[in-house]
Structure 1
């Protein structure tokens, strides 16, 4: 089968990340999957954003939700400390990340997962939904985010087309136990494989492919610098597809395709060789 192309945060190099216009553009480019990131607002709404805090790298405050709101400015605050109404005031379309030459989309807002599902459900794409937690989170908060996310995806009838992704592998073990109908992708990078790591749900970092199989992952997604032909062979021997991230040049896309990876995550879906 041909190597799949997954649009990273939509089409991060071309349009504002984790926005509806970005997803629409990625669909126009013919991606096989849309990768997106979710968090939970203070009032329990699943929203899209890469970081646990609102970053000035890609977000801009406009105005407080009410004139005397003590939480304003919102950029720099944690998503889980802000309501949906507060998050909605932030412009997500006018501040391209310095590494990219995005076409700005003034007025693009932080969408909810429900809104993203409404856009993506009619399209023939897979959803790769990354849950943004870290090892400091208690399991109760992981379960809150996971349950709310799964509820939205089920309501949109997208269960069979969705994979749940996480660097914090406790998300995956919880999903395995409570929501086994969803695919589960074990993300990892150099940072999460450091000595003494707490990212891998108690597993040692010396053999992440075997550890991912042990926790019931249905695919592995390693950082590109960790992805070798031997890793791909090991994962395939364990029945695990390999989704490499983030690959932004046609030359590297060709190289990883020759390695036998199953999918490539890219900021630039228009660079498919």
Structure 2
């Protein structure tokens, strides 16, 4: 009988495996191209002249290079006010969510915790059922959070999906390390802060990315709970532009150029920070998800 290495070599040298590799590479490249096309098209439209956009002649490359709309949007005080709000909401909400999710997940990962199954069941229940839009609105209003930052931050403070990923990761964490730390005199919070968290950078970075992207793209809660335009996130600015609820008359004199690609410019400026953040966290992304999903 052939050894394991010999069998693997024979499979790799087979014609069928070679065809599979070429087909798999072609399919993945095609998926990447289809995924990237909308982003490239938005960038091309953002820098194109109005005449080519209205004719539908802009695809992958800008035509009639133009930055008039960039100058108009970046000179609009409403845009920067909403942009600042989004940064504040995202940073605050992500910090709160990480504290709550991490402590909750660490607690329910301990099998000796009394009532552990009840807490897990509550988390799972929220993944399937919720109170509905009207009860949520009444609750937020009665708590005095409407027209405040907390209407955006608090209702989504814990994601049950993220909670279960972190719980699974903490369950697979080596118990011997925690036991050794307790023998050295650390209490529960000391073990979590000084031992567990420093060794959990991959899953923490992944959760930060999940929460940050979700809060950065959030607009519906602002649409429901906020009446003051000065409190809107930048996604509401973009939503109002796309819905035609925001006038562009005050943005500049070249109204035809601005109206033709203002949505593309606003979308590009809105998604740029997340695109810049992702490369720094990407190396933790796959390992963080797998650590929380695969038994070590």
So what's the TM-score if we normalise by structure 2? 0.22
Higher helix share: 2
- Report which of the two structures shows the higher radius of gyration computed on alpha carbons: 2
So what's the TM-score if we normalise by structure 1? 0.23
Higher strand share: 1
Choose between structure 1 and 2 for higher RCO, CA contacts under 8 A separated by at least 6 residues.
2
